[in-house]
A and B are shown apart, each in its own frame.
Chain A
Amino acid sequence: MSNDVLFTIEDLEVSYGSIAAIKGISLEVRKGEIVTILGANGAGKTTTMRTISQLIKAKAGSIRFKGHELTKLPAHKIVKLGISHSPEGRRVFGVLTVEENLMLGAYSRRKVNPETLRWIYEMFPRLEERRKQLAGTLSGGEQQMLAIGRSLMSDPEMLLLDEPSLGIAPILVKAIFKQIKEISRQGVTVLLVEQNAKAALKLADRGYVLEVGRIALDGPAAELLASDKIQEAYLGKKH
């Protein structure tokens, strides 16, 4: 792991109307890392992700990726810079086939990279088996695989994964987390939002804990996993 900082958020504030959702957070992601953002419902995890992708506009602060200020860009230009976002709730195109979904994932690079497609099918053989099937007919776990595969089709440098374990059978969660490790091994930097703190911290290099729009805690994943505060709040262990 190198020390090159690939991505930084500084003093980010986001509001929905008069309600402040993010109240000044800062974080950084180095090249090749898996960084996780943990937190309960409503802590602002998804808002942070959507603001990085410019689906929501920041009220203040800056988001920088390889020297580009993202807050000044429209949403559709983000993926071209090398940040791909697999959104919360998967958001696959339900009435299109698996294959068509993947092709749309490569929209920003115009031509499909056949090696990337092969790699995705190797990681998730289910997608290849069902490539002619409508995405809406897949199981939740398969849809999550598709959402991740779709976001990889643009050959991103950094992948934003928003709650890949949400509403998925435990056995598939395991399979998906294994593939996130594989994605990271192939050189893709990963920013992972999760409620499943234990699984996320086992996978990640570092973590940030978000509480009602502020960062309450941060540090190397192993330290967070061992800390009393995390144990108490997220892993359900008593003192």
Chain B
Amino acid sequence: MDTFLQQLANGLTIGSMFALVALGYTMVYGVMKLINFAHGDMVAASAFVGLMVYTQILGQTASLVGVVAIFFITAAIMACIGVTLERVAYRPLRTAPRLSAVVSALGASLVIQNGIMLIWGPRMRIFPELVPQVYWHVGGVIISMMQVIILVLSLILMVALYLFIEKTRMGAAIRASSLDQDAARLMGINVDSVISLIFIIGSSLGAVGGLFIALYYRGITFDMGWQYGLYAFIAAIIGGIGNIPGAMLGGMLLGLFSAFISGYVSSTWADAFTFMLLIGILIVRPTGLLGERVAEKV
């Protein structure tokens, strides 16, 4: 029972990081029908940008205000990079065949990954310990303050995003654009602005996810975007790519699943089982757990 509760806590923590990153994949896919392969590397870049903000701007002091500032500054920088990425790598290919944009995304992924390596070097960097190492023992389970912060902040961000999409005018514009871009234009929706907005939101959430990963695991490498990006991408597909609550659900499920496999089987098997889970879900539900199935009448 203790193992179960401990892995539940660990799984929710990892899951919320996956979910934050998965939202970036799913939102871009929703509107542009494009897998933004550079998103994982953007997440990795945000860890390094966060490190730079800490050392260069804050002079290595970590107050509460400082930590909050790291999150905001990093998210703002990554949002700018995300919008630029879309302008440079995707917008010129908007009307090109789908495959051209995919190749461009793969290229952007390599450019960002190598960019990180050239700027910060190929070796692992250790992210500073910005959150005090406080642990709580709750009925045989050890929960760290970091875990609680990750879980609570992620949930707040996800609820906020959900309300934004469902309840606001801009959210309606995003939903309409993801359903039918031409029909959205006829309603007076500026689809180009919607796409920029998607990249701002997706990159900012990815930046928060990247900082959480850095704070939680501490060791950051230039190529870590591949691994976390892949996991988040799988989470998005499990939930039904293009579906926002789906990405949240997929991330959480994937985190819990991999934590339980690590706890009960072996951590070396976690990846293998994760892919088996993905295959299993896709066999039963090819469009993911919450993927749309409504057939449109013609």
Query: Taking beta carbons and an 8 Å cutoff, which residues of A are in contact with B?
Result: 53, 55, 74-80, 84-85, 87, 89, 91-96, 100, 103-105, 107-108, 110, 134, 136-140, 143, 150-151, 154, 167
Contact = CB atoms under 8 A, between A and B. Distances in A.
Given A89-B298, A136-B295, 16 more contacts: A75-B185, A79-B188, A85-B186, A91-B180, A96-B175, A96-B179, A100-B172, A103-B172, A107-B176, A107-B188, A107-B189, A108-B187, A108-B188, A136-B294, A137-B294, A140-B297
21 contacts: A53-B185, A75-B186, A76-B185, A76-B190, A78-B188, A92-B183, A93-B175, A93-B180, A93-B183, A95-B292, A96-B176, A96-B179, A100-B172, A104-B172, A104-B187, A107-B189, A134-B294, A136-B295, A136-B297, A138-B297, A151-B186
Contact of B187 (A74, A79, A134, A143): A79
Given A103-B172, A136-B295, A91 B182 contact: yes
Interface size class of B (residues with CB under 8 A): 20 to 34
A95 B297 CA distance: 12
Contacts of B184: 104
Nearest to B193: A76
B187 to A, nearest CB: 5
A85 B185 CA distance: 10
B31 interface: no
Contacts of A53: 185-186
B262 to A, nearest CB: 37
Interface in B277-298: 292, 294-298
Nearest to A86: B186
Contact of A107 (B172, B294, B295, B296): B172
Interface in B181-209: 182-191
Contacts of B183: 87, 91-93
B179 A95 contact: yes
Contacts of A87: 182-183, 186
A74 B191 CA distance: 10
A100 B172 CA distance: 9
B123 interface: no
Contacts of A92: 183
B244 to A, nearest CB: 13
Nearest to A106: B187
B173 to A, nearest CB: 7
Contacts of B294: 94-95, 134, 136-137
Q: Which of A78, A100, A104, A150 has the most CB of B within 10 A?
A: A104
